[in-house]
Structure 1
Amino acid sequence: MRRPVALRLFAALATMALAAATGAVLSIPEASAATGSATGYATQNGGTTGGAGGQTVRATTGTAIHAALCGRASSSTPITIEVEGTINHGNTSQVSGDSCNTAAGVIELKQISNVTIIGVGSGAVFDQLGIHVRDASNIIIQNVTVRNVKKSGSPTSNGGDAIGMESNVRNVWVDHVTLEASGGESEGFDGLFDLKNNTQYVTLSYSILRNSGRGGLVGSSETDLSNGFITYDHNLYENIDSRAPLLRGGTAHMYNNHYVSLNESGINSRAGARAKVDNNYFKDSKDVLGTFYTDAAGYWQVSGNIFDNVTWSSPGSENNPAGPDPQSNTTVSIPYPYSLDEASCVPTVVSQTAGANKGLQVSNGTCSPQTPTPTTTPTSPTPTPTDPAPGPTQPSGTNLSIGADSDGSSKASGTSYGNVRDGDMSTYWSPTGSTGSISIKWGSATTVSVINIREASGSAGSIGSWRVINQDTGAVLASGSGAGVITFSRTLLHKITFEITSSTGTPQVAEYETYAG
């Protein structure tokens, strides 16, 4: 419910007073201070612009960061928070408000959208304090250092992750950051960059990850397969034991990264994950690519990489190294443009550009660092394809879902993913809440141009807004509202997802039919 003007004015004044007391300086509205534009998968699904076009706030404490989030008109009001100084447990308290959900001892980007956090001035260091992104979208984190975040010992923060994302996160660009620890799990540290529980459309670019037992993961377990569409480019992984990264399901693109001293394993593709690995430089490392510590196979497409003093273990029941002569065992289509530096110059380019306080330089594919123009207007997001509202005409031809496989983001008690492809209108799938996704998948590439979403008779909830996603590439094929027949351009793919983004109650999908058209 919208608060009366007088109450909103009082709240705004109170927040300004809190900001002044906690180290924030509120400025007049201006464009985002973020430099450059998002790259990789963060450009998909509508794009990632963070707080572009909103107010800019300067913060020198963690409490001030929270106060800035809580002082917005709503949880989606764009804001850029310029951070300078050291953020730690002593200056990071919980702040309450209608536009935020914060906690002490962690920077909490929870249940919010349209936010940029960028280090400015002499730099921003999050010391033993993690950044937690949860139930959030359109977030930019740029030019900051996060170090020595612990999950055990004292103090603890963010489950031990330097930057962690979980629970329905969409469109995050993490750029020119330095993430580092002082040891592994036995010393109390966990991952530097972890993504789990339905996190998608993320790019990590021009960053340093070093001195940790675990670089990062995508998917918290072999059953957490709802994550994907992650780009890693021009990053330095240095002195990492494993997980550079660990991929469980989903699609990832690694290009122009420099990997040095991966002590146990590197890119660990497993549980059906598909990794495109282009023009990277691996040096003084072991088992830099493959499926490790599991018999749940993952896949990779490789080209243009350099393996400099890399050793490989022998294959076993739970080890499938890609080397010593890595060959592709899948193909991955990338939906966005990108320029590749030659692998031979990656060590030089990455050393000049990656990490915080490096001037935010990037490469344009010519092995020569460039300084991008500061963003002064919101970046135009990638258009989301839309199609006419579903019509009444029923599709003709063979229902390709019969005999295919299916999975999804969650399933309510008593329902099954397989119910949407059994030809029986009396059985159905429901997510565990009002939103969720259901996918049809095939072992070989299949052409689809029509789907028919049929709700169960007497369904407790009606489908509201939705998107149809090519799960091979992350491209949005169509979007709209309501169940029924949906058409789009003929597309060759292995897996197609119907994502429900809003509904009244809990939807019940009896049949998810697919047709070549």
Structure 2
Amino acid sequence: MNRPVAWRWFAAAAASVAAAAVGVALPVLQASAATGAATGYATQNGGTTGGAGGQTVRATTGTAIHTALCNRASSSTPIIIEVEGTINHGNTAKVSGSSCNTADGVIELKQISNVTIIGVGGGAIFDQLGIHIRESRNIIIRNVTVRNVKKSGSPTSNGGDAIGMETDVRNVWVDHATLEASGGEAEGFDGLFDMKDNTQYVTLSYSILRNSGRGGLIGSSETDTTNGFVTFHHNLYTNIDSRTPLLRGGIAHIYNNSYVSLNESGINSRAGAKAKVENNYFKDSHDVLGTFYTSAAGTWQASGNILDNVTWSSPGSETNPAGPSMPSTTTVSIPYSYQLDAASCVPSTVSQTAGANKGLLESNGSCSAQSPTASPTSSKTASPTASPTTSPTPTSSPTSSPSGTNLSIGAGSDGSSKADGTSYGNVRDGDVATYWSPSGTTGDIAIKWSTAKTISRIIIRESSGAVGAIGSWQVINNDTGAVLKSGSGAGTITFSATSMTKVVFRITSASATPRVGEFETYAS
């Protein structure tokens, strides 16, 4: 629902051309400066280390990036790809190999893991060429510019998204990037930073998003609600019509961002989403927080934000602005540690640190810029879904007799894609003969309640025909994204008593297609 506003981008484009004409010098990032560690939700679910510990290669074309991926020993062999120069359609071709799945006209990170792409030297520019992450895990993208990616007109790439993630993506950190367009949908552009179809544990930090109709979304429709656990911090959004971001379901933590000229709407929490919005600075903008263009409401917890010349719409059937006082409508618990800059200094701090070619400078938490902290040095070779603190341990027999009330009876259930002929509701019907199976060998099944329940024990019972199929798993508090327990095999699983409205059983490996007959939940 973005209105054509092509004139807004003319001045910005002209300013960019003028800067180039006078030879504006940009800071140079050398390979030795590529330090820093992931922050936010990207630190959860086993963490995000990219290609740390792997081989480092240099690429000056898109084809060379694809070749580096395809030359690895396997699709999970860690690799750091240093990129310098302009990457475009003319130098980006499909490369084949057993460790990659690439395509022409897009940087394709598909069905792979443990990869870092970082701009070095004079900088890396992806010109009219998007970065597509699909069915992949543990990916880091830093110090790059992605500009003018189109979904219509010529040339097209990545559905018009600068960076797009979809289909079972986990643990992505995008840092010190500049993502920009030259208009909205009418001019052929789509989103700058999109996540859909079960994308989780993502952080966007110290980046610039500008001159676009759409900043980005989490969830492609009101029913695509398996995405979430996304952190946005120390980013600059400027001259954006809407979606900073659009959040459908899931949880987003949005702090210390600078917003300038949000023309139609800003943070749009919809379809049951929860957004924690703290210590941001909003300037010269309209409807910066709320539920817009739908009656499917979302919620937010807002604190410490500064509103500088912000205007608001009147409430309506599909318009629920949070302003002008932005009272909170929910509470959101964050499972990781972080430092908040005062909102008053956010514009200055972000201007010093955000975007590509800024030397990867970060905030020191006290309104000043500093060099990045050290990167992790160990190679991440295990599955990115492994718990960072708990090793998988066998569980007890799934046929053990429970005590107490099974809180799953009468509750709701959902999950990731299911196999034909199976149902989410089968895991809470008291009949182990009926079951849910994922569409593949891995996936999520969840029990949910309208009000929070305190849970400390679950029992996973496999249906006949697939006993012993479940391999490794995680139990996740969907309200916060925290991993409560990891292990292997079906049976009884205990953990510290936790209050939550939804608990997820995530199967991360299996010897055959699992059949979860019952997912029982207990207070003790």
Same fold (TM over 0.5): yes
Contact 1:281/1:307 (<8 A) preserved: yes
Say if 2:228 is the partner of 1:221: no
CA deviation string 1:381-416 (max 9, x = no partner): 972435742223433101011121111112222222
Q: 2:487 aligns with which of 472, 480, 489?
A: 480
* Greater shift in the superposed pair: 382-391 or 93-102: 382-391
Q: Secondary structure at the match of 2:492?
A: strand
Distance 1:344 1:379, change over 3 A: farther
| Partner in structure 1 of residue 97 of structure 2 | 97
Say if 2:74 is the partner of 1:67: no
| Partner in structure 1 of residue 286 of structure 2 | 286
Say if 2:504 is the partner of 1:497: yes
Deviation at 1:184, TM superposition (A): 0.4
Q: Secondary structure at the match of 2:433?
A: coil
Q: Distance in 1 between matches of 2:486 and 2:120?
A: 38
Contact 2:54/2:379 (<8 A) preserved: no
Please tell me the residue identity of whatever aligns with 1:485.
Answer: T
Q: Distance in 1 between matches of 2:49 and 2:477?
A: 23
Say if 2:246 is the partner of 1:239: no
| Partner in structure 2 of residue 509 of structure 1 | 516
Q: Secondary structure at the match of 2:159?
A: helix
CA deviation string 1:323-357 (max 9, x = no partner): 11111111111010000000000000001100000
| Partner in structure 2 of residue 15 of structure 1 | none
Please tell me the residue identity of whatever aligns with 1:452.
Answer: I
Aligned residues: 487
CA deviation string 1:137-179 (max 9, x = no partner): 1111000000000011100000100000111111110000000
Q: Secondary structure at the match of 1:181?
A: strand
Contact 1:218/1:228 (<8 A) preserved: yes
Say if 2:81 is the partner of 1:76: no
Residue correspondence of structure 1 range 313-462 to structure 2 within 5 A: 313-375=313-375, 377-378=377-378, 383-386=388-391, 388-392=393-397, 393-459=400-466, 462=469
Q: Distance in 2 between matches of 1:141 and 1:104?
A: 20
| Partner in structure 2 of residue 48 of structure 1 | 48
Q: Percent identity?
A: 78
Contact 1:205/1:235 (<8 A) preserved: yes
| Partner in structure 2 of residue 18 of structure 1 | none
Q: Distance in 2 between matches of 1:450 and 1:177?
A: 42
Please tell me the residue identity of whatever aligns with 2:82.
Answer: E
TM-score normalised over the length of structure 2: 0.90
Say if 2:124 is the partner of 1:132: no
Contact 1:37/1:379 (<8 A) preserved: no
Distance 1:363 1:379, change over 3 A: farther
Please tell me the residue identity of whatever aligns with 1:175.
Answer: D
Please tell me the residue identity of whatever aligns with 1:479.
Answer: S
Q: Distance in 1 between matches of 2:279 and 2:49?
A: 27
Distance 1:55 1:119, change over 3 A: same
Distance 1:167 1:441, change over 3 A: same
Q: Distance in 2 between matches of 1:204 and 1:383?
A: 21
* Greater shift in the superposed pair: 424-433 or 139-148: 424-433
Contact 2:469/2:510 (<8 A) preserved: yes
Q: Distance in 2 between matches of 1:361 and 1:378?
A: 23
Contact 1:33/1:375 (<8 A) preserved: no
Which 5+ residue runs of structure 2 have no aligned equivalent? Answer: 1-30
Distance 1:335 1:128, change over 3 A: same
Please tell me the residue identity of whatever aligns with 1:389.
Answer: P
Which 5+ residue runs of structure 1 have no aligned equivalent? Answer: 1-30
Contact 1:448/1:490 (<8 A) preserved: yes
Deviation at 1:376, TM superposition (A): 6.8
Q: Distance in 2 between matches of 1:499 and 1:183?
A: 40
Higher RCO structure, 1 or 2 (CA under 8 Å, sep 6+): 2
Deviation at 1:57, TM superposition (A): 0.6
